[in-house]
Amino acid sequence: MRGFFPILHIIAKVNVNTKYFFVGQVEGAFVQGIGFFTNEEYATNSDGLVIHDSTWTYKIPTVDTIPKQFNVELINSARDHKRVLSSKASGEPPLLLASSVHCAMREAIRAARKEFAGAGGSPLTFQMDVPATMPAVKELCGLDVVESFLKW
């Protein structure tokens, strides 16, 4: 309700064919995807040039971004001979799997809007752009209504 969204548990199963594929690659790609979907917002000037020059203004994933429990299972299905052989295309699946975080956030926001809808009510369909930053999540939850229910 405050725009903070801890990720409690992730289970990732990745099909690989090399024993040298490290679990850390899956975890790293997934966390990179979380950053893309949640906080890597960058501003541009009128010429379209990115104006962020450091992590003071450009927010990257941090230790708080990593799921509290992160289970990775590497599957070697050697029977599929048409798949990419090696780790060249193995980073994309866990990167794209991070879209599940965006979907889960949408459902949590929908639940908050439903629970804290005032007399006028908040529509349960809404646009949630990428990245879904903390201020955007607060706004989508209807924080002005939510704060009246929170006990500090």
Domain ranges of the chain: 9-146
> Rounded to an integer, what distance in angstroms lies between the CA atom of residue 53 and that of residue 7?
28
Q: Mention every residue, 6+ apart, whose C-beta is less than 8 A from residue 79.
A: none
What is the architecture of the domain spanning 9-146?
Answer: 2-Layer Sandwich (3.30)
**Residue 18 confidence (pLDDT):** 62
**Residue 127 confidence (pLDDT):** 92
Token match 């439903």: residue?
A: 114
**Residue 20 confidence (pLDDT):** 60
> In the chain, which stretches have pLDDT less than 70?
1-4, 17-21, 55, 77-91, 118-122, 143-152
Predicted model pTM: 0.74
CA-angle at 61, arms to 60 and 65, nearest 5°: 155
121: left (phi over 0), alpha (psi -120 to 50) or beta: left
